[in-house]
Amino acid sequence: ALAHLRMSSLAHLTAWANMVQEWYAAGLRGEVPPTPAPGLTWQQVPILNQRIYDQNKDRPLADIRADFDRSYQQLSDVIPTIPEEVLFTRGHYSWTKSTTLGAYFVSCGGSHYHWARELIRKWAKARA
């Protein structure tokens, strides 16, 4: 059960970290990426999360872990390269609308990592 929880959490974190980096790259190219995903609205995020789960549920944990490590490193590498005015100016990219790019990185990165850590911690505590 813990391996399954780790697998689904790491796959989820990887997908969201990759998405925010893809959105940022599209913004740099002057494009407006479909957020959160093509054909889905923010109210349909549960559908997107289920798709992420379905795409990864049968993958080996070692592969998912390698993808997670790679996405985490890429996210850690890209954020410090973004100028503060780009990170913290509301609507700098049209796709961020009234929020900031930094808020997207927090939501898809740090907040998600905290969520996963707490999820695993609560599961472990309930099993003890």
Please state the pTM of the whole predicted model. Answer: 0.90
Q: How crowded is the C-beta side of 6, counted as CA atoms within 13 Å? A: 12
Provide the token pair at 80: 């410090």
| DSSP annotation of 40 | B
pLDDT of residue 2: 63
Mean of pLDDT values over 86-105: 95
* Count of other CB atoms within 10 angstroms of residue 36: 19
pLDDT of residue 125: 81
82: left (phi over 0), alpha (psi -120 to 50) or beta: beta
Torsion of CA 12, 15, 21, 26, to 10 degrees: -140
Higher pLDDT: 30 or 117? It is 30
